[in-house]
Structure 1
């Protein structure tokens, strides 16, 4: 098998290019010894495997993600290196390219986003670049699927063993002499290949933490003994300056006669408002409000109503009639109709809303706005001891808290990373949408988008308040620098939007067939049986007894329905099961009927208090597990369980009791 290592800076279109080359034939896993995600794709009908490595700016790692990329070169086998560079940001991107070229393996540089470069009125001579860097240089536009077939053909050439690069940078004489001495000793004493020994020496002189750790573990004395000399001679600065000077000279030579830009610089014009210190936040709120209007008023809910009419009507009735016709036992009929169809089917009717929300998020990502959202929030995040980079995991948490917490790996400071992990579960994930949809339809029909938006921002406010508290408790006072590349705005492409929406939404369907299925069966069994056997009515079932036992505890926050309490307890498995449980407990497979039933069990104030509790209380099992994995301790996982329960109760208590004092009902 031929292994292609895919490197590149963040926001170079690396993931899009990976999907184009592999036709989405990818599998996921974790790197040995770490929890960072490993993504490997096969080029269809070939033995070529492409390893998609985390986006990095250099081989000197600052985060766990970046360390994976460097350690891959130190410990894994690879046949070809494919370096993806943003064609409009070559001065910075080619710094990583030089580090990869010095590794000595056959290398291809893909100048991606070539359309953005041309819009700037700039073009480079491809052959001059290829000659200067002694490797294959290709032009691509992964979004438009241009140049990707040529790149694939280059990889799949008849002789897959591309010639190794002999790229050598003219470093200052003192650096070159030190490199030569180190290489001689490393090849003689440790039997390293010359190219590999030279790369190790340069990276060590460049103060690469991963390489220094590797040298210490391998006891590479030729490097370790000279470390004080390298530092005293400022080799790190000399190497950087030599690389930068080479890149500037090469780009100057390769640049061809400029052409006038074909389009106006729309990105800069939009960013005057989108990233404005004052207007940026209102625009961010307005965009999310529009997103919820689409989800709950204009697109998602009407489609959900149509699907609900089918599930609660023809599907439920036909299934019941068919079971009667074949003589199924009443127990089995009740399980299938009142349990599975009512529960699982009752949750699946919310698919249009879930997919509408994910489509909106995918549009924001593909358009380039999400990076602006992090920049806008940087000033606010800095007031609680974090920076805009910490807001990116929180945004991802709107889809699912699990990948949101995993995204905190990109935060350099350990204390900031821990704080971000602990506050991420307060983000309103998509699993809560079915519950929101039920209650806003029952109590806030005219203001659905505003109410749901308020819940999302309630989660953000609670998270930021806790972050400020944790900053004081953990003494995380040192500020880290926030740097983010703002990509050009793009018109979202339907294929990319669909791919992103499906990737996010398929987990909801998977849960319907697993966790929600199991939770529905469990709640149905507990509602069908009681202490004396089959319950004569649901009020004498185990579910009723459990809910009634906790009624005094939840009465102060406005809950007077044991059904809601029992359903809420199943949400610890997965938040989606709450809606399924309510369908079962109210003996309905129809969303409309359940909405009418809820209207008699809650007041609007109690309903909002309940939604706030659902937003903030105990994370689902998957989130608890990933907190344990990311922090390396069950202590923080259990802390998250207890603290979120306390926070949810206190916030709901303030909402309900405060509302009563103000005369709200």
Structure 2
């Protein structure tokens, strides 16, 4: 004989939960109190398809955050007793409010069936609910019932038995905005240390409850692991203070807003149909009717992105020029003060021209981040993701893949590492893998300086336009590659998409400045640490081994001959000596380790118009994309045409005979799409569970990028011969 099933009836007060309980159990019920408290405990039993069912009527509650005794009782029963199925009784005539509790059941990862009660009342109010669509969006069975008359109750019990026979579901991860999502990621290791709690509660759920300042979870965390608990509480307090300074709200309010946004996005996707048009709509609904419109929405999005790039390049040009002049003066000063030698060369070519080249783009990065913060804090960025859902499904990706793409730099200025980590919320392993392998195609913050450098050097009259087109190209290529992967290596059907739409807010200037500075400071810190170290290492590779004595003597003799031959021609002598010094510098660079690597690769890279000095920078880009600019700065400093003239890297590239607009486009394409940086590769290996996929990402992306660069260069020189 099969064991008796235990089901828990949960729901908001007045949702019809007790009516359903009475219909199921009839006279076979008893009422008592939960141990030690005055809250009523109702239990009963029923029989369905020969299976005994124990029914527990939980106290009515609006939330699972333990602010009241009823909420604490309901949550403790679900966690400690682990019923076979939770039946969430939802008032169909007040769907949005009732689904708030459903979201928390999904986050807790309990086996869930939704009883859509009072559908008759909803229909009288002109509201029709598509239960199948709601079930598809939530990923749980949804059964319409009328508890008063018993209509649909047998179907509900059928769904309960089917759910009980299925595997226990995984918790659903909702998104709560960049600040809270980052905090939850940072808290992972410390939460994992609290093994007593993680054996009972999902890790992310614990993090959310700590941020909501749930007293019971805070206490249990401190008892389970005092050291980790203190770190977690401190992190939560830090996030709370940050949100207060930037948005003027507490974490609990942000979490609630995003849960309602999640619900609203479900309702907007063909779940609810209204026969009567409401007299009054919320302001956010009115705005959404325009900005998420099938036709107007994408046009508005394109216009917003174009304005973002126009704003960035129009207003950042002056501070960029100031920084260029500052580093030029600094280079001249060091050149004047220090004697010739390795240390001077390292300071000028390795540090100033290398790191300075990266820091020179700080104003552009800052203006870009300010624009992105404005879009994010206002709530518009979530609407962009919402609109992209239909497109993503066409290319075989889940709609939730939109957020990893945006986080990775889908608007501009993100990072592939958190984008890869954000893909862990996708349920389908194949959709998750397809997302992991394509998010590195986005124009992350590390690529922005390179794109800005090349576009500024060769397409300065149309910077905003080319940056906008590069963003569109990144999206298009990423989606096409995703489609290819889903048709070949990662075949499978797409799963339904749900995404939260947070309410619109007026961003505060203080909040915008804080978000802008935080991201810009991260960029500056990276330039001052990682990029500095790699720049010095690459300078050493491009300096050593030094030229053999015989070669040095050869150039010394040429200088001596020039002095004797052109002794009376001062200008001619200066030009001849400069030419000899340049040839010596070029020869030294070719003789170095970096030069030899670049020359070895030039046999292949020349088909894409890429010369040996650029090859050195591209090899450095495997470590970190920001290094490309610093390495180009070093390479063109060590072997520049006129060592006496201090010019910006843009000007050096523009004057170099190996560069032209066609070459620049080919190099741009290669940099945008070749192998992810090393840290991203490690993250792909960790998130996919295999180094095989990480290696595939490096190899596939690099081969694809090279083929694209070759095609652009070969077609370009046919159309625009040198």
Q: TM-score range by the shorter chain?
A: 0.5 to 0.7
Query: What secondary structure sits across from 1:537 in the alignment?
Result: helix
Structure 1 residues 159-195: Cα deviation after superposition (integer angstroms, max 9, x where no partner)? xxxxx997668787769954499xxxxxxxxxxx998
Q: Which residue of 2 aligns with 1:629?
A: 686
Equivalence map 1:372-521=2 (5 Å): 372-398=383-409, 399-521=414-536
Deviation at 1:617, TM superposition (A): 0.8
1:232 partnered with 2:161: yes
Query: What secondary structure sits across from 1:483 in the alignment?
Result: coil
Computed over aligned residues only, the root mean square deviation of the Cα atoms, in angstroms, reads 3.6
Bigger CA drift: 612-621 or 278-287? 278-287
Once residues 526 and 196 of structure 1 are traced to their aligned partners in structure 2, the CA distance between those partners, rounded to angstroms, is: 62
Q: Which residue of 2 aligns with 1:279?
A: 296
1:201 to 72, 81, 85: 81
Q: Which residue of 2 aligns with 1:31?
A: none
- Aligned CA distance change for structure 1 residues 430 and 165 (closer, same or farther; 3 Å): farther
Once residues 92 and 275 of structure 1 are traced to their aligned partners in structure 2, the CA distance between those partners, rounded to angstroms, is: 31
Tell me if the contact between 1:527 and 1:538 (Cα under 8 Å) persists in the aligned partners: no
Q: Which residue of 2 aligns with 1:354?
A: 365
Query: What secondary structure sits across from 1:482 in the alignment?
Result: coil
1:602 partnered with 2:619: no
1:525 partnered with 2:540: yes
Deviation at 1:515, TM superposition (A): 1.9
Bigger CA drift: 477-486 or 193-202? 193-202
Q: Which residue of 2 aligns with 1:300?
A: 316
Tell me if the contact between 2:332 and 2:646 (Cα under 8 Å) persists in the aligned partners: no
Deviation at 1:554, TM superposition (A): 1.2
Tell me if the contact between 2:431 and 2:494 (Cα under 8 Å) persists in the aligned partners: no
Structure 1 residues 273-310: Cα deviation after superposition (integer angstroms, max 9, x where no partner)? 311112222222221111111222x1223222111211
Deviation at 1:612, TM superposition (A): 0.7
Structure 1 residues 58-77: Cα deviation after superposition (integer angstroms, max 9, x where no partner)? xxxxxxxxxxxxxxxxxxxx
Tell me if the contact between 2:42 and 2:57 (Cα under 8 Å) persists in the aligned partners: no
Deviation at 1:378, TM superposition (A): 1.0
Once residues 13 and 544 of structure 2 are traced to their aligned partners in structure 1, the CA distance between those partners, rounded to angstroms, is: 65
Structure 1 residues 520-567: Cα deviation after superposition (integer angstroms, max 9, x where no partner)? 1122112222364598423333233222222121111122x3211111
Once residues 14 and 433 of structure 2 are traced to their aligned partners in structure 1, the CA distance between those partners, rounded to angstroms, is: 33
Q: Which residue of 2 aligns with 1:655?
A: 712
Once residues 481 and 624 of structure 2 are traced to their aligned partners in structure 1, the CA distance between those partners, rounded to angstroms, is: 24
1:555 partnered with 2:606: yes
Tell me if the contact between 1:179 and 1:202 (Cα under 8 Å) persists in the aligned partners: no
Once residues 434 and 543 of structure 2 are traced to their aligned partners in structure 1, the CA distance between those partners, rounded to angstroms, is: 43
Taking structure 2 as the reference length, the TM-score comes to 0.57
1:583 partnered with 2:598: no
Structure 1 residues 118-148: Cα deviation after superposition (integer angstroms, max 9, x where no partner)? xxxxxxxxxxxxxxxxxxxxxxxxxxxxxxx
Query: What secondary structure sits across from 1:382 in the alignment?
Result: helix
Deviation at 1:508, TM superposition (A): 1.5
Deviation at 1:234, TM superposition (A): 8.0
Once residues 438 and 93 of structure 1 are traced to their aligned partners in structure 2, the CA distance between those partners, rounded to angstroms, is: 61
- Aligned CA distance change for structure 1 residues 271 and 233 (closer, same or farther; 3 Å): closer
Once residues 287 and 38 of structure 2 are traced to their aligned partners in structure 1, the CA distance between those partners, rounded to angstroms, is: 44
Unaligned runs of 5+ in 2: 1-10, 16-35, 47-51, 59-72, 88-104, 112-156, 166-277, 553-583
Once residues 463 and 699 of structure 2 are traced to their aligned partners in structure 1, the CA distance between those partners, rounded to angstroms, is: 31
Structure 1 residues 360-413: Cα deviation after superposition (integer angstroms, max 9, x where no partner)? 111111111111111111111111111321111101111111111111112121
Tell me if the contact between 1:374 and 1:392 (Cα under 8 Å) persists in the aligned partners: yes
Deviation at 1:488, TM superposition (A): 2.3
Once residues 339 and 429 of structure 1 are traced to their aligned partners in structure 2, the CA distance between those partners, rounded to angstroms, is: 24
Tell me if the contact between 2:42 and 2:56 (Cα under 8 Å) persists in the aligned partners: no
Once residues 281 and 379 of structure 1 are traced to their aligned partners in structure 2, the CA distance between those partners, rounded to angstroms, is: 12
Tell me if the contact between 1:387 and 1:482 (Cα under 8 Å) persists in the aligned partners: yes
- Aligned CA distance change for structure 1 residues 533 and 172 (closer, same or farther; 3 Å): farther
Q: Which residue of 1 aligns with 2:669?
A: 612
Equivalence map 1:308-319=2 (5 Å): 308-313=324-329, 315-319=330-334
Tell me if the contact between 1:204 and 1:211 (Cα under 8 Å) persists in the aligned partners: no
Equivalence map 1:136-151=2 (5 Å): none
Tell me if the contact between 1:203 and 1:211 (Cα under 8 Å) persists in the aligned partners: no
Unaligned runs of 5+ in 1: 1-90, 96-163, 182-192, 214-227, 237-260
Once residues 167 and 448 of structure 1 are traced to their aligned partners in structure 2, the CA distance between those partners, rounded to angstroms, is: 67
Structure 1 residues 565-606: Cα deviation after superposition (integer angstroms, max 9, x where no partner)? 111111111111111111111118999532122113311111
- Aligned CA distance change for structure 1 residues 414 and 332 (closer, same or farther; 3 Å): same
Tell me if the contact between 2:357 and 2:649 (Cα under 8 Å) persists in the aligned partners: no
Tell me if the contact between 2:86 and 2:110 (Cα under 8 Å) persists in the aligned partners: no
Deviation at 1:419, TM superposition (A): 0.5
Deviation at 1:94, TM superposition (A): 13
Q: Which residue of 1 aligns with 2:588?
A: 540
Once residues 607 and 349 of structure 1 are traced to their aligned partners in structure 2, the CA distance between those partners, rounded to angstroms, is: 20
Query: What secondary structure sits across from 1:618 in the alignment?
Result: coil
Once residues 440 and 391 of structure 2 are traced to their aligned partners in structure 1, the CA distance between those partners, rounded to angstroms, is: 19
Tell me if the contact between 1:628 and 1:637 (Cα under 8 Å) persists in the aligned partners: yes
- Aligned CA distance change for structure 1 residues 424 and 322 (closer, same or farther; 3 Å): same
Once residues 564 and 625 of structure 1 are traced to their aligned partners in structure 2, the CA distance between those partners, rounded to angstroms, is: 25
Q: Which residue of 1 aligns with 2:285?
A: 268
Equivalence map 1:109-128=2 (5 Å): none
- Aligned CA distance change for structure 1 residues 521 and 231 (closer, same or farther; 3 Å): same
- Aligned CA distance change for structure 1 residues 195 and 510 (closer, same or farther; 3 Å): closer
Once residues 527 and 462 of structure 2 are traced to their aligned partners in structure 1, the CA distance between those partners, rounded to angstroms, is: 29
Tell me if the contact between 1:605 and 1:664 (Cα under 8 Å) persists in the aligned partners: no
Tell me if the contact between 1:179 and 1:198 (Cα under 8 Å) persists in the aligned partners: no
Q: Which residue of 2 aligns with 1:639?
A: 696
- Aligned CA distance change for structure 1 residues 171 and 310 (closer, same or farther; 3 Å): farther
Query: What secondary structure sits across from 2:488 in the alignment?
Result: helix
Deviation at 1:486, TM superposition (A): 1.7
Once residues 680 and 468 of structure 2 are traced to their aligned partners in structure 1, the CA distance between those partners, rounded to angstroms, is: 23
Taking structure 1 as the reference length, the TM-score comes to 0.61
